Amino acid sequence: DGGITQSPKYLFRKEGQNVTLSCEQNLNHDAMYWYRQDPGQGLRLIYYSQIVNDFQKGDIAEGYSVSREKKESFPLTVTSAQKNPTAFYLCASTMGSGANVLTFGAGSRLTVL
């Protein structure tokens, strides 16, 4: 079945450590996105990529980094520079631009100890 796979589902990190969240899709979608979800808030865009080897900052990119070396993969690194990294992270993809319906992964919950 086609879809988006995020891993790990749960991740614990000590302060000062970088962590990488994986996002893989087999939908042949062009665009991929990373969102952060905090309790009581709407989803906020971290980074997005419309084509391979190209990506743009979203609204809250500080402390995060991404790469898009393959069409299917869009990993997100949460660096030690991110001041409040504990959150639920969602990866999404869509064919074409964001005007189309987003398909979301199941999410990764990061907790900083």
Give whichever of 53 and 97 is closer to other proteins, judged by the CB atom: 97
Q: Is 75 in the site for other proteins (CB under 8 A)?
A: no
Secondary structure class of 97 (helix, strand, coil): coil
Binding track, positions 51-70, relative to other proteins; x by CB under 8 A: -----x--------------
Q: Is 11 in the site for other proteins (CB under 8 A)?
A: no
The pair of three-digit structure tokens given for residue 61, joined into one six-digit string: 């990119």
Q: Is 84 in the site for other proteins (CB under 8 A)?
A: no
For other proteins, which residue of 1, 83, 97, 113 counts as binding (CB under 8 A)?
Answer: 97
Residues 6+ apart with CB under 8 A from 1: none
Give whichever of 99 and 113 is closer to other proteins, judged by the CB atom: 99
Residues 6+ apart with CB under 8 A from 109: 9, 10, 11, 87, 88, 89
> Cα 43 from chain centroid?
11
Distance CA 18, CA 32 (A): 22
Applying CB under 8 A, which residues contact other proteins?
4, 6, 31, 40-45, 48, 50, 56, 88, 90, 92, 97-99, 101-107, 109
